[in-house]
């Protein structure tokens, strides 16, 4: 059974940093593109970043460019999102997900990040 389990969320002050983790199991992690998606409270989904199988290709959206970095450790079957210079508008549930073709077929349960003083 495919499982994706996010961790690392919590309360952080504006300007602070957090590192989210996503532990993958039930599939060959190193064979798939992975992604981070977020959802602010009561709002829609926002695609944040993608990373290819070996980590050599990364793409992210303008809203987080230069502040968030996606990475992976295939030996640990783990995906990461390093978030720096956090703002109130970054408050959201953060999901990791695995690709099927050009879509996200498996999702974690999400981890809540709250940016507030």
Partner 1 sequence: QSALTQPRSVSGSPGQSVAISCTGTSSDVGGYNYVSWYQQHPGKAPKLMIYDLNKRPSGVPDRFSGSKSGNTASLTISGLQAEDEADYYCCSYAGNPYVFGTGTKVTVL
Which CB, 4 or 12, lies closer to partner 1?
A: 4
Which CB, 101 or 117, lies closer to partner 1?
A: 101
Q: How far is the CB of 31 from partner 1 (least distance, A)?
A: 18
How many Å apart are CA 81 and CA 8, to the nearest integer? Answer: 10
Q: How far is the CB of 55 from partner 1 (least distance, A)?
A: 15
**Tokens at 9, concatenated:** 């969320």
Q: Which residues bind partner 1 (CB under 8 A)?
A: 37, 44-50, 59-62, 95, 100-105, 107-110
Half-sphere exposure of 93 (CA within 13 A, CB side): 14
The pair phi, psi for residue 76, each rounded to 5°, is -100, 0
Which CB, 75 or 103, lies closer to partner 1?
A: 103
Which CB, 14 or 89, lies closer to partner 1?
A: 89
Q: How far is the CB of 17 from partner 1 (least distance, A)?
A: 22
Which residues partner with 81 through β-bridges?
20, 70
**Tokens at 6, concatenated:** 């996010």
Q: Helix (H, G, I), strand (E, B), or coil: what is residue 63?
A: helix
Q: How far is the CB of 61 from partner 1 (least distance, A)?
A: 5
């Amino acid at each position: 059974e495919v499982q994706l389990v996010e961790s690392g969320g919590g309360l952080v002050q504006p300007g602070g940093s957090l590192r989210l983790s996503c532990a993958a199991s039930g599939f060959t992690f190193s064979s798939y593109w992975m992604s981070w998606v977020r959802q602010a409270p009561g709002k829609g989904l926002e695609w944040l970043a993608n990373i290819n199988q070996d980590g050599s290709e990364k793409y992210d959206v303008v809203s987080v460019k230069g502040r968030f970095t996606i990475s992976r450790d295939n030996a640990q079957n783990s995906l990461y999102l390093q978030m720096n210079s956090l703002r109130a508008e970054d408050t959201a549930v953060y999901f990791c997900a695995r690709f099927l073709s050009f879509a996200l077929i498996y999702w974690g349960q999400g981890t809540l990040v709250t940016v507030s003083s």
